[in-house]
Amino acid sequence: MTAASGPGIPAETCVRLFDAARSSESAWNRQPWRFVLGRCADPTFQTLFSALAEDNRLRAHTAVALVLAAVRTTDETGKRMRGTEYELGLAVGGLTARARAEGLQVRQYGGFDRAAVRDALAVPDTHDLVTVVGLRWARPGHVRPAARMSLSDIVFSGRWGSPADLATGKRRFSAESRY
């Protein structure tokens, strides 16, 4: 199986996505996130695509870019750094919001062969390979709402488990459309 060809993703769009990612906060401004960009169907894209689990390759075949999201986990002395994965998550969140504003759909793939990717892309041991972010152009009519817990299940006030008074009832879908 190979990835689909079609309209690609311009470099200027990628710049805006990664600018959004790097605008994120991090403790001591240590910026532990690193990304490896594969644009359809360059060698990096092919490396990431081939490493995806089989069911993920089926989902990712319309992707125009695959981005390896990696994070620094040990400092210069070899000591484990706490919380860097959280910071990577913030950065990927920023990238995701920007991508949606650009008309892209985003899906993350945690199911991939990390050893194969580490080897092929020469990722150092100081960094963990966290996820592969798939980006594809949104297709009108091919969107579905995101099924999510209601706000009353996750936003509390007063004490744990007591829903905040936001008057939203049990609305179980977010406004976002999905990949």
* Residues at the site binding ligand FMN, with contacts judged by CB under 6 A: 56, 59, 107-111, 131, 146-147, 178
Nearer to ligand FMN, 61 or 107 (CB): 107
Assigned token pair, 11: 């470099």
CA atoms within 13 A on the CB side of 134: 25
Q: How far is the CB of 131 from ligand FMN (least distance, A)?
A: 5
Least CB distance to ligand FMN at residue 109 (A): 4
The residue (of 16 and 100) whose beta carbon lies closer to ligand FMN is 100
In the bound complex, what is the minimum distance in angstroms from residue 118's beta carbon to ligand FMN? 17
Is the Cβ of residue 11 or residue 115 nearer to ligand FMN in the bound state? 115
Report CA 64 to chain centroid distance, whole Å.
Answer: 14
Residues 106, 97: Cα–Cα separation, whole Å: 9
Residue 110 or residue 124: which is nearer to ligand FMN going by CB? 110
CA distance 155 to 90: 20
Both tokens assigned to 175? 């406004």
**Listed residue (44, 25, 72, 2) closest to 133, CA to CA:** 44
Least distance to ligand FMN from the beta carbon of 77, Å?
28
Identify which of residues 15 and 58 has a Cβ nearer to ligand FMN in the complex.
58
Q: H/E element holding 34?
A: strand 33-39
Considering the complex, what minimum distance in angstroms separates the CB of residue 98 from ligand FMN? 17
Give the Cα separation of 84 and 75 in Å (integer): 11
Are the C-beta atoms of residues 36 and 114 closer than 8 Å to each other? no
